[in-house]
Amino acid sequence: MNDEKTAGKADPQPGGNGAPVHESESLFKGGNEIIIRHNGADYRMKITRQGKLILNK
């Protein structure tokens, strides 16, 4: 279902709650940290050594 043509795009099939699905690989692009700006505030999302996600303001 997820091949190179769809990499980096939202899955056209919504998740369980109807929200679009985004692959973490497409968001992090090989890194382990991204910044998400929401309502003027920056949030840092990291991938831990154990492969889990942590979101901090």
* Max Cα-Cα span within the chain: 35
Percent of the chain with pLDDT over 90: 67
Residue 34 lies in a domain: yes
Alpha helices in 1-57 (DSSP H): 24-28
Question: What does the pLDDT average to over 28-35?
Answer: 97
Determine the structural domain holding residue 40 and report its residue range.
24-56
Calculate the alpha carbon distances from 34 to 15, 24, 43, 49, 56 in Å.
22, 10, 8, 15, 11
Q: In the predicted model, what is the mean pLDDT of the chain?
A: 85
The pLDDT of residue 11 is 61
- For residues 21 and 10, the answer to whether their CB atoms sit within 8 Å is yes
pTM of the model: 0.68
The pLDDT of residue 26 is 95
The number of folded domains in the chain is: 1
Query: Does position 1 have pLDDT exceeding 50, yes or no?
Result: no
Question: What does the pLDDT average to over 28-55?
Answer: 98
Residue 38 lies in a domain: yes
Q: Give the DSSP letter string of 29-40.
A: TT-SEEEEEETT
